[in-house]
Structure 1
Amino acid sequence: MLINTLPQHIDIVIVGGGPVGALLAQRLVSSGHDALLVEAKHSVGKDPRALAIAYASSQTLAANDLWDESLGATPITQVHVSQAGTLGRTELNAAELDLPMLGSVVKYEKLAQYAFDQLSNSAARLALGAKVTQIQRLARFAQLTLETDLGEQKISCRLVILADGGHLLAQFKDIQQTVKSYEQHAVLATLTPKHPHQGIAFERFADDGPLALLPTGTDYTLVWTQTPEQAAARLTLPDADFIAEVEQRFSDRVSGFTAVSGRASWPLALKTVNSIVGQRVVLIGNAAQTLHPVAGQGLNLGLRDAATLADVLAATPARELGEASSLARYAKLRARDAGLVTAVTDSLISLFDSPSLPLKHARSLGLLAMDQCGWLRRGFAERMVYGAR
């Protein structure tokens, strides 16, 4: 439910009203915990991103009333992975996993707005336009200072959960964030294909950066990793020239495009922390880790954070919320999945960024080996759908 007056005390405060925070809020209410989600914005702003949501993630969202057909998600039934200039390629298929789809592509703006709408009409408490400016943590509780339409307000709680991207981490002495710049920008665009995409997504490793094509409605969303200088140049190209450059890198893998729109770019970096838990605080989603978009795993990893934390807290009595033993259990449960996905994503960038000819041929052989080994191909696809279990 949408509230205008903040309580003076509550057991759990979730900071950040995106899909990750919304999932956790829904789950906590269903387990009987007293929780409040606070979001600095009053509404979802414009956001051009399209996200690949793994099938398992969409099922989790649907089970908590955060996903339905009104989102207009586009199914991905096949992912074609290849390297430009070599024979290396492989295909991941939903049928091999006995699934109706590997995942879906949805506009972030639509998913975030749907989460706002659902929380506003559910038992979960939601406060919009409430920006957390300070978190003071003591032995038995934490106190949050918030800027609201009614002025500065304070809330005390047993546990603070950050799902906001980590903007408040600088206030904590027991958690340090490391930022690794990739010296790259992601160029985003909408491309209209000459022929229907048939639910096929593409990941193409070109010599000047990887490109992904995500089926979005009847179009494709392009995510193209470039140097900052290349990204700036590509944003100003005439439409025909931009399309020609994309077609050149995909060679004959796709049939071509008739139009391009919505070009934008943003810088890419890997953000990690030395611990996802601290005194009276837990980090989930982008607060815990921000990944390169190359494998499309960022939001999926965050949703698994939220689901696992919800399970841990469901088994935690209210008086023990925020205690070190409970938080340590959550950190242990998330270590393998988060660590592996982060390492694989980061390694892909390093592996495919080298221009070395021997390494290029080795990458090609790796893709061909995966294509020929069904168990290897299925294992990789399962990790993309379910994470490291």
Structure 2
Amino acid sequence: MSTLPGHVDIAIVGGGPVGALVALRLAAAGHDVLVLEAKRDIGQDARALALSHASREALNRVGLWDEARLAPTAIEKVLVSQADTLGRAELSAAEIKLPALGYVIGYAALAQLALERLQAGSARVSLGTPVTGIRQLARYAELSIATEAGPRQLTCRLAILADGGKLVDTLAGIRQTVKPYDQHAIIATLTPSASHRHIAYERFADDGPLALLPRGDDYTLVWTQNPADAQVRLALSDHDFIAEVGQRFAGRVPGFTAVGPRVSFPLALKTVNSVADRRVVLIGNAAQTLHPVAGQGLNLGLRDATVLADVLAATPRHDVGETATLARYARLRRRDAGLVTAFTDSLITLFDKPGPLFKHGRSLGLLALDQAAPLRRGFAEHMVYGAR
């Protein structure tokens, strides 16, 4: 976009998958929508995403799912186990009558597709346009924007923040709480010696949980470690790194023949006291940033976007930023967001407790889940659809 408007009904800050989904839905419903994205292009991003089957359906409805472009790898089963015990549970897509529990794709491919669909759609899009601040007023929100020509302001009836939380500190009525986990996530690609058969693994070892996500013919490894141990693991030779991963799975997965480059990043839980306040609403990572242990972060954000789009698509344009409208959205998202956030955080707390008593208690819990078919199916459905 060459010229920014002075006013729009709805300004969406962030053009990633979450912001793109709500923008495409609202533009199709006839709303006046402007997307402000700080980046001009996606750049290099090697992250892998585990998207639930419900997230795939939500993306597909707005043209954000392309099999050829995204090359998704289906997850048909998830095997969860506790190291050094008999505790295990198996979740299966077939048991809840779905083709897959989820799909593993590359973040960069989805983000690039989102930008292209936005630019081809009816929403207005401005790339390379960072928003530096927000002033909340009774009738509109005023965004401060950095442009090549210098700073300028834009007003809107409603500002939707899908930017990952960069602007939360500029809001008067919303406070963010950060809970550091004192953990780093190590990410790497592992090539298995035999087919993964579309099975994902979640393994709770004494020194941190590991997840193996099938992607193409390989696995994406997500291994949570304390910061010091993460640095030690990053410095290992490929042979020794593979041996350490294999040791923690204790023969439950095929061996590995190769490992790719390894990176790590710190982990923290970020939450806000409210997802909406005076002409501003937060969705996705702006509303909550979760530990990757259960792979629920983007899935939760896409459900945020879907529900917000449902609410606003049925709202007259002059009411989109009104208190009653935002309160309705917040009420609809409270249970799902609250339960998924608490569940993810409790997994870290529960499985981080040392000692044989806690370990065998966790083992019994997994065995009970595996043996109780209604409980197992309900748990799998919650992982796919959230708390409904």
Query: Shorter-normalised TM-score: what interval?
Result: over 0.9
1:238 corresponds to 2:237: yes
Counterpart of 2:254 in structure 1 is 255
Counterpart of 1:51 in structure 2 is 49
Compare 136-145 and 335-344 and name the one that shifted more: 136-145
Offset of residue 328 of structure 1: 0.4
Counterpart of 1:66 in structure 2 is 64
Distance 2:249 2:37 in 1: 41
Which consecutive unaligned segments of at least 5 residues does structure 1 have?
Answer: none
Counterpart of 1:162 in structure 2 is 161
Cα deviation digits, residues 205-258 of structure 1 (max 9, x gap): 000000000001110000000000011111111000000000000011111100
Code of the residue aligned with 1:274 in structure 2: it is: N
Query: Which secondary structure state, in structure 2, belongs to the residue aligned with residue 111 of structure 1?
Result: helix
1:189 corresponds to 2:188: yes
Offset of residue 333 of structure 1: 0.2
Distance 1:302 1:312 in 2: 15
Query: Which secondary structure state, in structure 2, belongs to the residue aligned with residue 41 of structure 1?
Result: coil
Counterpart of 1:88 in structure 2 is 87
Counterpart of 2:32 in structure 1 is 34
Query: Which secondary structure state, in structure 1, belongs to the residue aligned with residue 221 of structure 2?
Result: strand
Distance 1:197 1:57 in 2: 23
Code of the residue aligned with 2:179 in structure 1: it is: K
1:287 corresponds to 2:270: no
Cα deviation digits, residues 264-318 of structure 1 (max 9, x gap): 0000000000000011100000000000000000000000000000011112111
Distance 1:148 1:117 in 2: 22
Offset of residue 126 of structure 1: 1.2
Query: Which secondary structure state, in structure 2, belongs to the residue aligned with residue 57 of structure 1?
Result: helix
Aligned residues: 387
Code of the residue aligned with 2:225 in structure 1: it is: Q
Code of the residue aligned with 2:21 in structure 1: it is: L
Distance 1:308 1:319 in 2: 19
8 Å CA contact retained: 1:129, 1:149: no
Cα deviation digits, residues 351-385 of structure 1 (max 9, x gap): 00011211111100010011111101100000000
Code of the residue aligned with 2:79 in structure 1: it is: H
Query: Which secondary structure state, in structure 1, belongs to the residue aligned with residue 262 of structure 2?
Result: strand
Compare 220-229 and 150-159 and name the one that shifted more: 150-159
Compare 115-124 and 72-81 and name the one that shifted more: 115-124
Code of the residue aligned with 1:115 in structure 2: it is: A
Counterpart of 1:25 in structure 2 is 23
Counterpart of 2:310 in structure 1 is 311
8 Å CA contact retained: 1:162, 1:282: yes
Distance 2:15 2:119 in 1: 11
Query: Which secondary structure state, in structure 1, belongs to the residue aligned with residue 253 of structure 2?
Result: coil
Which portions of structure 1, spanning 4 or more consecutive aligned residues, are displaced by more than 3 angstroms? none
Distance 1:179 1:28 in 2: 31
Distance 1:134 1:376 in 2: 46
Offset of residue 319 of structure 1: 1.0
Which consecutive unaligned segments of at least 5 residues does structure 2 have?
Answer: none
1:142 corresponds to 2:141: yes
Counterpart of 1:11 in structure 2 is 9
Counterpart of 2:103 in structure 1 is 104
Query: Which secondary structure state, in structure 2, belongs to the residue aligned with residue 105 of structure 1?
Result: strand
Distance 1:149 1:253 in 2: 55
Cα deviation digits, residues 320-339 of structure 1 (max 9, x gap): 12110110000000000000
Query: Which secondary structure state, in structure 2, belongs to the residue aligned with residue 225 of structure 1?
Result: strand
Code of the residue aligned with 2:261 in structure 1: it is: G
Counterpart of 2:335 in structure 1 is 336
Code of the residue aligned with 1:269 in structure 2: it is: A
Offset of residue 122 of structure 1: 1.4
Distance 1:387 1:292 in 2: 16
Code of the residue aligned with 1:36 in structure 2: it is: L
Distance 1:314 1:28 in 2: 6
Query: Which secondary structure state, in structure 2, belongs to the residue aligned with residue 222 of structure 1?
Result: strand
Distance 1:171 1:335 in 2: 23
Code of the residue aligned with 1:39 in structure 2: it is: E
Compare 333-342 and 122-131 and name the one that shifted more: 122-131
Distance 1:369 1:200 in 2: 21
Counterpart of 2:352 in structure 1 is 353
Query: Which secondary structure state, in structure 2, belongs to the residue aligned with residue 185 of structure 1?
Result: strand
Distance 1:170 1:255 in 2: 46
Code of the residue aligned with 1:38 in structure 2: it is: L
Distance 1:299 1:150 in 2: 34
Distance 1:275 1:133 in 2: 21
8 Å CA contact retained: 2:135, 2:171: no
TM-score by length of 1: 0.98
Code of the residue aligned with 2:56 in structure 1: it is: S
Distance 2:230 2:276 in 1: 36
8 Å CA contact retained: 2:18, 2:162: yes
Query: Which secondary structure state, in structure 1, belongs to the residue aligned with residue 261 of structure 2?
Result: strand
